[in-house]
């Protein structure tokens, strides 16, 4: 039997086992998918042991994605620039390979599940940490008209601007100078929501054509989603679709089969609404 798992710290709330088991059932693939909780100092040894024991693939989640990027022998072009890896597997020659499917997950959720386009749109991104860097390669490939990264620490947004300067001219901003922007999309990649907060944004930022997307999710909705709804946004989406789509891309890399994401997303929504 082929073995897969998600590695994180903590990882007990991860929905990846449920998602991948549903994909496997749907596509008639015979595999196991577990959770492995690993502290940062044990990460490399545990990953090596998993593959040495015949394991086929790992999903990597917080806080290990950057360390996974460092340890692989080969990176997909997206992962190279993303600076983080969420999917590990072995190449036919035995080298450990790393991919990053988070950006694909976000763009596919927006374009395919919600039927929206990012092409020529003005996209405001909140946050400039690892999560935002990870999605930029695919976001740029979706051909937005303009990308603005706003962050509490503006210098970190400038670092991302410089890193991607060969592909796209990203603008940077502080949160309190966004009044005139009128973005088509606002993507929340800041981790302020983990402490129940969100960046302090001008009330004029949202109009009735603004679509808002939170990269995370929470039962009952995230703080950012509630703010977006209250402010009159056209859409206030959470990251459940991104979670299922990034998983589908990992599954495809590992198994060569593309699962249908719709039924799995429905099951996940039901699970979260029952919590
Ligand atoms: P991740 O891997 O989740 O991106 P990270 O690299 O630590 O984690 O980045 C966290 C992001 O959330 C950063 O953009 C951070 O802003 P700073 O760069 O100014 O630290 C942002 N963030 C975290 N808590 C925040 C808060 N309370 N208000 C605004 N931004 C916050």
* 203-228: pLDDT as tens digits: 889 999 999 999 999 989 999 999 99
What pLDDT score does 149 carry?
98
Mutate to test the pocket of ligand 1, among 128, 159, 191 (most ligand atoms within 8 A of CB): 191
- Dihedral (C-alpha) 264, 269, 274, 275: value to the nearest 10 degrees? 100
DSSP three-state, residue 215 = coil
The conformation of residue 10, written as its DSSP 8-state character, comes to S
What pLDDT score does 169 carry?
98
Domain ranges of the chain: 2-100+241-274, 103-238
Contact 85, 99 (CB under 8 A): yes
270 an active-site residue?
Answer: no
Q: What is the pTM of this model?
A: 0.96
Kindly give the distance from the C-alpha atom of residue 74 to the centroid of ligand 1, in angstroms, as a whole number. 28
Mutate to test the pocket of ligand 1, among 154, 178, 190, 222 (most ligand atoms within 8 A of CB): 190
Instruction: Quote the CA–CA distance of 105 and 109 in Å, as a whole number.
Output: 6
What pLDDT score does 45 carry?
98
Q: Write out pLDDT tens, residues 223-271.
A: 999 999 999 999 999 999 999 999 999 999 999 999 999 999 999 999 9
Instruction: Quote the CA–CA distance of 41 and 226 in Å, as a whole number.
Output: 37
Kindly give the distance from the C-alpha atom of residue 262 to the centroid of ligand 1, in angstroms, as a whole number. 31
**Choice among 15, 56, 65, 81 that is catalytic:** 65
User: How many other CB atoms are found less than 10 A from the CB of residue 175?
Assistant: 17
Q: ∠ at Cα 171 (129, 68), nearest 5°?
A: 25
Minimum CA distance residue for ligand 1 atom 27: 192
Atom of ligand 1 nearest to the CA of 175: 29
Kindly give the distance from the C-alpha atom of residue 259 to the centroid of ligand 1, in angstroms, as a whole number. 33
Ligand 1 touching residue 130 (CB < 6 A): yes
The CATH number of domain 2-100+241-274 is 3.40.50.10860: yes
Kindly give the distance from the C-alpha atom of residue 131 to the centroid of ligand 1, in angstroms, as a whole number. 9
What pLDDT score does 274 carry?
83
Ligand 1 touching residue 113 (CB < 6 A): no
Q: What CATH homologous superfamily does 103-238 map to?
A: NAD(P)-binding Rossmann-like Domain (3.40.50.720)
Ligand 1 touching residue 191 (CB < 6 A): yes
pLDDT by residue, tens only, the chain of 275 residues: 999 999 999 999 999 999 999 999 999 999 999 999 999 999 999 999 999 999 999 999 999 999 999 999 999 999 999 999 999 999 999 999 999 999 999 999 999 999 999 999 999 999 999 999 999 999 999 999 999 999 999 999 999 999 999 999 999 999 999 988 999 999 999 999 888 889 999 988 999 999 999 999 998 999 999 999 999 999 999 999 999 999 999 999 999 999 999 999 999 999 998 87
């Amino acid at each position: 039997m082929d073995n897969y798992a998600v590695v994180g710290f903590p990882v007990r709330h991860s929905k990846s086992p449920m998602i991948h088991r549903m994909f496997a059932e749907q596509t008639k693939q015979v595999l196991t998918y577990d959770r492995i909780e690993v502290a940062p100092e044990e990460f490399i040894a545990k990953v090596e042991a998993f593959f040495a024991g015949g394991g086929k693939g790992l999903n990597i989640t917080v806080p290990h994605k950057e360390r996974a990027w460092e340890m692989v022998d080969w990176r997909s072009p997206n992962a190279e620039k993303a600076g983080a890896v969420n999917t590990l597997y072995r190449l036919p020659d035995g080298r450990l390979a790393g991919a990053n499917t988070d950006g694909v997950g976000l763009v596919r959720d927006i374009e395919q599940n919600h039927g929206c386009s990012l092409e020529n749109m003005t996209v405001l991104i909140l946050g400039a940490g690892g999560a935002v860097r990870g999605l930029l390669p695919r976001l740029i490939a979706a051909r937005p008209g303009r990308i603005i990264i706003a962050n509490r620490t503006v210098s970190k947004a400038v670092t991302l601007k410089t890193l991607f300067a060969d592909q796209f001219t990203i603008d940077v901003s502080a949160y309190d100078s966004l009044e005139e922007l009128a973005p088509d999309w606002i993507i929340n990649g800041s981790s302020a929501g983990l402490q129940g907060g969100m960046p302090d944004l001008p009330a004029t930022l949202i109009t009735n054509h603004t679509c808002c997307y939170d990269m995370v999710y929470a039962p009952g909705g995230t703080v950012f989603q509630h703010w977006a709804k209250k402010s009159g946004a056209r859409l206030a989406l959470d990251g459940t679709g991104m979670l299922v789509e990034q998983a589908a891309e990992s599954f495809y890399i590992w198994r060569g089969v593309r699962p249908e994401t719709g039924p799995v997303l429905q099951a996940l929504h039901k699970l979260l609404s029952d919590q």
